[in-house]
A and B are shown apart, each in its own frame.
Chain A
Amino acid sequence: MSPQPQAAVGAPLSRVDGRLKVTGRATYAADHDIKGAVHAVVVDSTIARGRVTGIDTRAALALPGVLKVISHLNAPRLAYRDDPNLNNPPGRRLRVFQDDKVLFHGQPVAVVVATALETAQHAASLVKIGYDAQSPSTDMSGSDRTNEPATYARGDADGAIGSAAVRLEMAYRTARNHHNAMEPQATVARWDGDRLTLWDKTQWVLGTQNELASVFGLPPESVRVISPFVGGGFGTGVRTWPNVTVAALAAREVGRPVKLVLTRKQLYFAVGYRPVYEYGVRLGSDRRGRLTAMTHDVRAETSTYEDFTEAILVAGRMLYSMPHVSQTYRRVPLDVNTPTWMRGPGYANASFAIESALDELAHEIGVDPIELRRRNEPDDDESSGLPFSTRRLRDCYTTGAREFGWHRRNPKPRSTRDGDWLIGTGMATGVYDVLRSPAQARVRLDADGTALIESGTSDMGPGTYTSMTQVAADALGLTMRNVTFRLGDSRMPPTPPHGGSQTMGTVGSAVQDGCDTVRRQAIRLAVEDRESPLYGVDPDGIVVRAGRLHVKDNPVRGETYQRLLARNERTHLETLGSFQPGESRFSMYAYSATFAEVAVDASLGLVRVRRMLGVCDAGRIISPKLADSQALGGMVGGIGTALLEHTVTDHRDGRIVNANLADYLVPVNADIPDLRAIFIDGEDLEAAPIGVKGLGEVVHIGVAPAIANAVFHATGRRVRELPITAEALL
């Protein structure tokens, strides 16, 4: 830990960019008005499988202001290099306008470029596409084709279940969900000779840089990606989608900068989504609820051209103690676009199945759901044999039960009524692994006593700008206002994707490393400077507060950064901070316990969440106010998944039927009750030097099953499919 006093870290500070955002001065991708920019609108396929047989652009091109209609008929062939640095799934990524094949409903088949947005929109609606359509396969339940399954086994799960005193078998299903971030995917692309600049919505400027370089066959340094603000991501911006290529291609073809903003409707097929899951569970336990075995038979949708996989199996191997586990994960290739990560990827879906199953077991044998989980708490990670770095899950249960009032619960389902409402409570456990990838941050302390830190990360909403400023301020011994943190430019030092809850731990550790180094540089300069009041002092005995270096136990003896640097004629001190994860001998995860109280009007099929509590073991909390916001947002998202969110495909032709926010329901304010988050004290220095395990996913994972379990407690009806809608409860 830093010897520095922690004044900013741990303080409930407001966002440093809050004023910019609420006054509309934060520049999101589409807000960049680049001189000479023209507008592009994508034409989407209206079949899900087949060929484009003809494109009639005459009416579109006849409109004044239309510059060009680009399709496979006239687009140049692009390099589409394979690049191991990209995070695209195995397969052959969608190559826009390279051939006549249609692989899913809504695939881009043409793009219209015009001087005015309205002209481009109208022209796009006038482009007539002819198709040779084939019957698509988009329904996972109706398909028995699967890609090579991923499997895992320890012990003999089938044998153990066969001889178990208690045996349960359940089939769960979760709907396709879309991220529905407030900001749509948006790009402004400009070419200067062979150099491409993109102002883009992305959660990973480095990934977008590499993707575009590989698509156009350019060296990565010829592509610059700028993304200072992201209006929500939830995973949709971790991968670079074809729309960015379309914007860059259009800009090159018309010889002018091009702005391309996807419509809300296009966000349901032009980018990825959380896939449909079918998750079969069989379990065996003794009469006291000690698990002996569990099998996980998982099916998920993917596209025909890419095999998307995510961490659906991990929780089933390590969350609870049991000798026998068997897992199969099959992906069903369909005529759909490729799925992608969405908040709590894999784990959120697994948690619905596993945490519902635990609740079913608790009810079956008459054991309290929390007590059941305690009885199955492992001593170490049984999937790897490694000890846990930290696992404060028992604390989550204890604190959660106390603060939620769990002991007042009558375990009998359908035992509490309030007028027409049946009242129930439920809980579920969440787990998410600590992702650790290299990250860097450039730190520069200027002679005026201010610091600038830059790192090519992102801030999709969790408050990266603020939390990194807090870390830097304390490590440098500066006030918040004298520290500026910049992000979102591929020229800045590289970071992992801003996703998977890893930004605070990885980038935060790099920021802390760089700031520690610069502070030590300054201290060394002082103690070796005969004119400094700190000359000859032991460097370890010096701290910096509010820009002034002083002897820790004698604050009078010291001087400011400004005086020190001025006297030494140094314009600045600078370094590159880094986080480089080594091999770990520990199993590292963040944990949560979520508690929900629901009211169910069983007669009308209505479910209303009344209150919710999330208790998290996420390691050290850097920015409590932002962490609280993260947790509340995670719960809101979980309420959506549990009760509302469902992307509907018409399997006759593969179209998304509810591709808008009136028909794809997300919670509104009225759906959100009293939400509360508690963070268990503690840090995890194995996970990251900064002590952070990660927060954004684990606050969401477990929310949906907690609600489903509460619905069961309220009504006695077990709903094994999300979302839980009226028809399941009538």
Chain B
Amino acid sequence: MYPFTFTKVSDTREALNAGRRGGRYIAGGTTLVDLMRETVERPESLVDISDLPLREVTVTERGGLRIGALVRMAEAAAHTKVRTTYPVVSEALELSASAQLRNMATIGGNIMQRTRCTYFRDVTAACNKREPGSGCAAREGYNRTHAILGTSDACVATHPSDAAVAFAALEATVNLMGPDGERSLPFADFLLRPGSTPDREQALRRGELITSVEIPAHPRPLKSGYLKVRDRQSYEFALTSAAVALHIRGGVIREAKIATGGVGTVPWKLPTVEQHLVGERPSARLWAQAAERAADGARPLAHNRFKIALLKRTVERQLRTVGGTK
């Protein structure tokens, strides 16, 4: 681990000042400290934001849900409003990591977490994300867990968060505060596809701080849930996952919100699948037909071709689980 300074800030202004000077924000530390130990991350200055007043889950005036950036994963998952309104978020959180990690890690940190690509985490391997221009060891290496969607020549690493998949499905926004004021970004714009700059993972400006993740009000109640497929039953990242939220009234699907994880360089929204479902009546056939589109555009690598079939089946299964019918 490289030496660093550590400052604890007590209010947002102090945090932003430190951030503007190049300080790296740290809250639960469950990703950053790991990566510092591996010398993947070498921040010179850490700014502990744990004491900032960003630990509330609130209902917005329009009826949306605002989850403070410092709300712990466990707290968010257990929150009554989250559980009842957006079970997909609770489930995604509870299927993440371990109980110990969920008690430490925050929502802001969760969506900021970095890829599990083993070449990224091994400083002796080529990695454009860690060291721009050094190449990508994963592309021709061992890539069973890597992405099939949203990849580029420079990077094929997945985004590891489950919660982010649920947020992407629900079209959440990320609220930010920076030296130049506050702004909001749609989730889809917050996390960046690798392109030729895989080292840039979020649309964050220097010193900008995540204050909350906001799920917009959905006037029509959604049935939702999260399915995570992985080799072992707990404490592992997804091979594939599906966040599905549906509004069905009068036997017809009125609204469909679907995103998948474990397959994309960012949480992967499936608009064509959503469009296929809206206006249709739930049926096993419909689920299968819609899911058939889930892997459109996939570019498999040597060891992850199976994810194409697995992704379709994951989406189909979760459509059935949420939408019903045998």
Partner-B contacts on A (CB < 8 A): 46, 118, 121-122, 125, 420, 603-606, 608, 643-644, 648, 650, 652, 655, 657-658, 660, 662-663, 665, 667-671, 725-727, 730
Residue of A121, A644, A648, A726 with highest tally of chain B CB at under 10 A: A726
| Contact of A667 with B232 in the complex, beta carbons under 8 Å | yes
- Nearest Cβ distance between residue B210 and chain A, in whole angstroms? 25
- Report the Cα distance A654→B130, complex, angstroms: 21
Partner of B1, one of A121, A603, A643, A658: A121
Contact sample, A vs B, 26 pairs, CB 8 Å cutoff: A46-B124, A125-B123, A604-B229, A643-B231, A644-B232, A650-B137, A650-B141, A652-B141, A655-B122, A655-B124, A655-B125, A658-B118, A662-B116, A662-B237, A663-B116, A663-B118, A665-B231, A665-B232, A667-B232, A668-B235, A726-B229, A727-B306, A730-B306, A730-B309, A730-B310, A730-B313
19 more A-B residue pairs beyond the given contacts A603-B317, A604-B317, with a C-beta to C-beta distance below 8 A: A125-B2, A603-B313, A604-B229, A605-B229, A605-B306, A605-B310, A644-B231, A650-B137, A655-B122, A657-B119, A658-B142, A660-B118, A665-B232, A667-B232, A668-B233, A668-B235, A670-B232, A670-B235, A725-B231
| Contact of B116 with A122 in the complex, beta carbons under 8 Å | no
Task: List the 7 closest pairs (A to B, CB-CB), nearest first.
Answer: A670-B233, A727-B306, A670-B234, A46-B124, A657-B142, A668-B234, A668-B235
Contact indicator per residue, chain B 125-157, by CB within 8 Å of chain A (1) or not (0)? 100000000000100111001000000000000
Q: At the interface, yes or no: B3 with Cβ under 8 Å from chain A?
A: yes
Q: At the interface, yes or no: B314 with Cβ under 8 Å from chain A?
A: yes
- Chain A residues whose C-beta falls within 8 Å of the C-beta of B231 in the assembled complex: 643-644, 665, 725-726
| Contact of B122 with A671 in the complex, beta carbons under 8 Å | no
Q: At the interface, yes or no: B236 with Cβ under 8 Å from chain A?
A: yes
- Report the Cα distance A99→B234, complex, angstroms: 45
| Contact of A125 with B39 in the complex, beta carbons under 8 Å | yes
- Nearest Cβ distance between residue A33 and chain B, in whole angstroms? 22
Q: DSSP majority for the B interface? A: loop
Q: At the interface, yes or no: B172 with Cβ under 8 Å from chain A?
A: no
| Contact of A604 with B314 in the complex, beta carbons under 8 Å | yes
- Chain B residues whose C-beta falls within 8 Å of the C-beta of A644 in the assembled complex: 231-232
| Contact of A604 with B310 in the complex, beta carbons under 8 Å | yes
Contact indicator per residue, chain B 1-30, by CB within 8 Å of chain A (1) or not (0)? 111000000000000000000000000000
- Chain B residues whose C-beta falls within 8 Å of the C-beta of A725 in the assembled complex: 231
| Contact of B310 with A665 in the complex, beta carbons under 8 Å | no
- Chain B residues whose C-beta falls within 8 Å of the C-beta of A726 in the assembled complex: 229, 231, 239, 306, 310
- Chain A residues whose C-beta falls within 8 Å of the C-beta of B140 in the assembled complex: 652
- Report the Cα distance A530→B122, complex, angstroms: 78
Known contacts A652-B140, A652-B141, A658-B118; is-contact A118 B1 (Cβ 8 Å): yes
For the A-B complex, the count of residue pairs with Cβ-Cβ distances under 8 Å equals 76
Contact indicator per residue, chain B 206-244, by CB within 8 Å of chain A (1) or not (0)? 000000000000000000000001011111110100000
Output the nearest chain B residue to A121 by Cβ-Cβ distance: B1
- Report the Cα distance A121→B119, complex, angstroms: 21
- Nearest Cβ distance between residue A105 and chain B, in whole angstroms? 9
- Report the Cα distance A121→B237, complex, angstroms: 29
- Report the Cα distance A671→B236, complex, angstroms: 12
Contact indicator per residue, chain B 153-197, by CB within 8 Å of chain A (1) or not (0)? 000000000000000000000000000000000000000000000
- Chain B residues whose C-beta falls within 8 Å of the C-beta of A727 in the assembled complex: 306
- Chain A residues whose C-beta falls within 8 Å of the C-beta of B313 in the assembled complex: 603-604, 730
Residue of B121, B140, B314 with highest tally of chain A CB at under 10 A: B121
Interface residues on B, range: 20 to 34
- Chain B residues whose C-beta falls within 8 Å of the C-beta of A606 in the assembled complex: 229
| Contact of B310 with A608 in the complex, beta carbons under 8 Å | no
- Report the Cα distance A605→B240, complex, angstroms: 11
- Nearest Cβ distance between residue B301 and chain A, in whole angstroms? 13
Output the nearest chain A residue to B42 by Cβ-Cβ distance: A125
Within 8 A of A (CB), among B272-326: 306, 309-310, 313-314, 317
- Nearest Cβ distance between residue A607 and chain B, in whole angstroms? 9
| Contact of A650 with B306 in the complex, beta carbons under 8 Å | no
- Nearest Cβ distance between residue A576 and chain B, in whole angstroms? 49
Partner of A648, one of B3, B39, B142: B142
Output the nearest chain B residue to A640 by Cβ-Cβ distance: B232
- Chain A residues whose C-beta falls within 8 Å of the C-beta of B309 in the assembled complex: 730
- Report the Cα distance A46→B309, complex, angstroms: 36
- Nearest Cβ distance between residue B63 and chain A, in whole angstroms? 35
Output the nearest chain B residue to A639 by Cβ-Cβ distance: B232
- Nearest Cβ distance between residue B142 and chain A, in whole angstroms? 5
- Report the Cα distance A657→B310, complex, angstroms: 23
- Chain B residues whose C-beta falls within 8 Å of the C-beta of A605 in the assembled complex: 229, 306, 310
- Report the Cα distance A475→B195, complex, angstroms: 74
- Chain A residues whose C-beta falls within 8 Å of the C-beta of B306 in the assembled complex: 605, 726-727, 730
- Chain A residues whose C-beta falls within 8 Å of the C-beta of B118 in the assembled complex: 657-658, 660, 663
- Report the Cα distance A667→B236, complex, angstroms: 11
- Nearest Cβ distance between residue A703 and chain B, in whole angstroms? 16
- Chain A residues whose C-beta falls within 8 Å of the C-beta of B122 in the assembled complex: 655
- Report the Cα distance A334→B253, complex, angstroms: 59
| Contact of B317 with A669 in the complex, beta carbons under 8 Å | no
- Chain B residues whose C-beta falls within 8 Å of the C-beta of A655 in the assembled complex: 122, 124-125
- Nearest Cβ distance between residue B263 and chain A, in whole angstroms? 13
- Chain A residues whose C-beta falls within 8 Å of the C-beta of B237 in the assembled complex: 662
- Chain B residues whose C-beta falls within 8 Å of the C-beta of A604 in the assembled complex: 229, 310, 313-314, 317
- Nearest Cβ distance between residue A400 and chain B, in whole angstroms? 26
- Chain B residues whose C-beta falls within 8 Å of the C-beta of A118 in the assembled complex: 1
- Report the Cα distance A121→B116, complex, angstroms: 23
Contact indicator per residue, chain B 65-108, by CB within 8 Å of chain A (1) or not (0)? 00000000000000000000000000000000000000000000
- Report the Cα distance A668→B141, complex, angstroms: 27
- Chain B residues whose C-beta falls within 8 Å of the C-beta of A657 in the assembled complex: 118-119, 141-142
- Report the Cα distance A122→B314, complex, angstroms: 44
- Report the Cα distance A118→B1, complex, angstroms: 8
- Report the Cα distance A603→B240, complex, angstroms: 13
Output the nearest chain B residue to A729 by Cβ-Cβ distance: B306
- Report the Cα distance A669→B234, complex, angstroms: 8
- Nearest Cβ distance between residue A720 and chain B, in whole angstroms? 17
- Report the Cα distance A726→B234, complex, angstroms: 16
- Nearest Cβ distance between residue B292 and chain A, in whole angstroms? 14
- Report the Cα distance A411→B236, complex, angstroms: 34
- Nearest Cβ distance between residue B244 and chain A, in whole angstroms? 15
- Nearest Cβ distance between residue B52 and chain A, in whole angstroms? 29
